[in-house]
Amino acid sequence: MKKDVYADKRFDIQTEKAIDVKILEAIPFEYAGSETEVVYETDEFTSVCPWSGLPDFGAITITYMPEKKLVELKSLKYYLTSYRNVGILQEHAVNRILKDLVKLIQPQYMTVAAEYKERGGIWTRATANYEKE
């Protein structure tokens, strides 16, 4: 009987501690009360499956209405890139991003949506929402 060559196959996986929250910066929003909706999109988001280490590729859309602060874009790019080798479920990634960004800028509302590329015949779409009380 042939040994299962995949039984011990695993890639290095970082924990969520590798997510670089400290890199995130907020900048002042000078038009408070203007009901400006801000949308950031990238189709280059990557993380890895926490069990196999195989990559997950997705598009992330962040939509929010700022109150007093905006997310500084360079810091957002570095923050999202820090997920590259993190083992995190797709549904958890959108919630983690939402939590970190809401804490940073305290918007009126925010939605983080992800559409992951097909793997094993299944596409995943996950959306997390926040609305200020």
Sheet holding 38-48, edge to edge: 38-48, 55-65, 109-119, 122-131
pLDDT tens digits along 27-36: 999 999 899 9
Q: Which of 4, 12, 49, 100 is catalytic?
A: 49
Question: Which domains does the chain show, CATH number per domain?
Answer: 22-131 (3.30.1130.10)
pLDDT tens digits along 44-85: 999 999 988 889 999 999 999 999 999 999 999 999 999 999
| Residue 43 falls in the annotated catalytic set | no
- Write down the residue that tokens 């929250």 correspond to: 21
Global model pTM greater than 0.85: yes
| Residue 20 falls in the annotated catalytic set | no
Q: Are strands 69-71 and 26-28 parallel, antiparallel or unpaired?
A: antiparallel
Query: Which of 115 and 54 is assigned the larger pLDDT?
Result: 115
